[in-house]
Amino acid sequence: MCGLLGLICPSGSDAEQARPAVLDALRCQRHRGPDESGAWSEDEVVFGFNRLSIIDVEHSHQPLHWGPPGAEGRYTILFNGEIYNYLELRAELTEQHGARFHTDGDTEAIVAAYHYLGPAAVARLRGMFAFLIWDAEKRVVFGARDPFGIKPLYYAVGSGGVAFSSEKKSLLALADTIGIAPAVDRKALQHYLILQYVPEPESLHDAVRRIESGTSFTLSPGGSPVLERYFPATFRPRPVRSESDANRLYDEIAEALRDSVAKHMRADVTVGSFLSGGIDSTAIAALAREHNPDLITFTTGFERAGFSEVDVAAESAAAIGVKHVVRTVTPTEMMDALPLITWYLDDPVADPALVPLWFIAREARQHVKVVLSGEGADELFGGYAIYREPLSLSPFDRVPGALRKAMGKVSTKIPDGIRGKDLLRRGALTLEERYYGNARIFRDDQLRLVLRNLDPAVSHLDVTAGPYRESQDLDPVTRMQHVDLFTWLRGDILVKADKMTMANSLELRVPFLDPEVFRIAAQIPSEQKITKETTKFALRRALRDIVPAHVLNRRKLGFPVPIRHWLKDEMHDWAVDIVHQSQTDQYLDKAGVLRFIEEHRSGVLDHSRRIWALLVFMIWHGIFIEGRITPVVPEPHYPVKL
């Protein structure tokens, strides 16, 4: 788990001239790897690296050079992440191909697999990763990003070459060297205000893009990346016709998850676990304790009734027998920390849950260097309450199309806040029209009140059309899961997980997002995921002997943050001040934004999520565009010996 930065200059360029600029830009992401830094250049290539040492701490320095006998040093690799099956992969490559290794780490396993297996090697990796491999013989770069998008990889193409980085801010620092002039991408901004995140492959700077999840690429000096999707992440449900079929499925789920956690526990440093009151993190912590009886778990909450899972998490920790650490977050702390957190994010993410996540990650880093977490379970096993919507809207399926459209028009005449309005509106829409992920921030009619120059051609369909097309033969629930895999999961959930933990030089691992776990989850039929009574039905059955009874069938609370209350009271003046100071008039109508804030304060409508999205963008703009806000970025410092 580290930070990489690579620049591939045009053919015939002298990359050594760009090396000082690359090293300077590398400092922007020192928090991702405070243990050591390394750099290397050759002809058209400059590689820089910040390392967080987890496996083979004393060796496996990067950039790492490797080659087969007779061609030692042919390849140079930058690798951010962890490969959990590296021991098995190294043994296979040694036995079948005579591969030789000079370290005990996982980095060599990637480059050796690429040498012997070619680009197909990337499909053999179980882990989270973003890497670049320079082949000095063929003069080509091969790179890839993990199947689900756990680890980030930004890139920019300009007259000075192509640069890749774990953090966008390093590419912005290299703008002159790359030959780019970044500006706000208006289409990406509109997507952000609809979805609460910037969807891949976009970023909010028009000159910077992201390699998408499950994608590999090749690049020759002077060219542009040639992308190929190697992991389609396709759901293929199988029927469950009998009780024995069902029990076999539950056993397969438990076995796959137990194996994944075992491999995710591989480390040469202390591993802890995040623990909320839900079934996902509780299952991970319970399985992790099988490998480490001294496991430490961490949770966060708020001093407000109904917005904390601290008590349930503490009960779970006691039940599975682990030490437990709690961090409570106040509204003042959230307000004070938000500019720094936004700097770490690179692009705005309007998910309030990322703020307490940053605080608990900071607390956890005083005790451990790696944490496990439960991200991905909801997308793979059907855990969101919204996945039950096809059941509640099924009566609308029997209504003729013309009548359904008429019902939709009627819903527009009903005032906002009136019970039944949204049900009628959504029932009149097709699945493709109404579902675009868990966060639905601004509808078009709301967006017109605050966004200048709204483009009617830009919609969520720009983002979801591909996943819907790929899943057209599946049932509605599974199609919603498929959409979330390529939107919500990699755009919100995994971005905040990576950015908030790495901001504190803490490695986060997500055992649910493992190719073998997905292989089983992809086969689960919708009736084993969503019922009238519960979500994640099959997963709950699979975990009945693993998690405590008080958690097994508990309703999902998520990670609620009381901004609805705070924006009426403690955060009101702070929010108004942000709006007045912001220089975003070319994008936002400040009068409309202030009207939202006052309507929310008076209780007319709950605008809290919309207000939060606007505030986060304004802070982001103040940092990355105006240069008016300059958060003080702390030097990584961890006094506890790990």
* pLDDT for 248 beyond 50: yes
- For the chain, give the percent of residues with pLDDT over 90: 82
Segment among 29-33, 115-119, 388-392, 570-574 with least mean pLDDT: 388-392
pLDDT at residue 638 in the model? 63
pLDDT at residue 512 in the model? 98
* Average pLDDT estimate for 324-345: 96
* pLDDT for 558 beyond 60: no
Report whether 470 contacts 234 (CB < 8 A): yes
pLDDT in tens, 460-491: 999 999 999 999 999 999 999 999 999 999 99
DSSP track, 353-420: THHHHHHHHHHHTTT-SEEE--TTHHHHHT--GGGGHHHHTGGGGGS-HHHHHHHHHHHHHSPTT-TT
* Average pLDDT estimate for 146-161: 97
Q: Does the annotation list 397 as a binding residue? A: no
pLDDT in tens, 211-233: 999 999 999 999 999 999 999 88
> What's the whole-number average pLDDT of the chain?
93
* pLDDT for 144 beyond 90: yes
State the maximum Cα–Cα separation within the chain, in Å, rounded to a whole number. 76
> Given 2, 18, 153, 322, which residue is catalytic?
2
Q: Does the annotation list 392 as a binding residue? A: no
pLDDT in tens, 378-396: 999 999 999 999 988 877 8
pLDDT in tens, 165-198: 999 999 999 999 999 999 999 999 999 999 999 9
pLDDT tier, 350 (very low <50, low <70, confident <90, very high otherwise)? very high
* Average pLDDT estimate for 544-552: 92
Phi, psi of 498 (to 5 degrees): -70, -50
Cα–Cα distance measured from residue 131 to residue 254, given in angstroms and rounded to the nearest whole number: 31
Question: Rounded to whole angstroms, what are the CA distances from 517 to 90, 348, 380, 545?
Answer: 22, 30, 9, 18
* Average pLDDT estimate for 114-121: 97
pLDDT at residue 306 in the model? 64
pLDDT in tens, 281-317: 999 999 999 999 999 999 998 877 666 678 888 999 9
The full set of domain ranges for the chain reads 2-229, 243-383+487-552, 389-437, 563-624
Q: Does the annotation list 606 as a binding residue? A: no
Is CATH 3.40.50.620 the right assignment for the domain spanning 243-383+487-552?
yes
Cα–Cα distance measured from residue 274 to residue 261, given in angstroms and rounded to the nearest whole number: 14
pLDDT tier, 641 (very low <50, low <70, confident <90, very high otherwise)? very low
Catalytic status, residue 2: yes
Report helix, strand or coil for 232: coil
Cα–Cα distance measured from residue 521 to residue 244, given in angstroms and rounded to the nearest whole number: 18
pLDDT in tens, 586-598: 999 999 999 999 9
Cα–Cα distance measured from residue 573 to residue 563, given in angstroms and rounded to the nearest whole number: 13
pTM of the model: 0.95
pLDDT at residue 391 in the model? 86
* Average pLDDT estimate for 141-166: 98
Q: Which CATH class is domain 2-229?
A: alpha beta
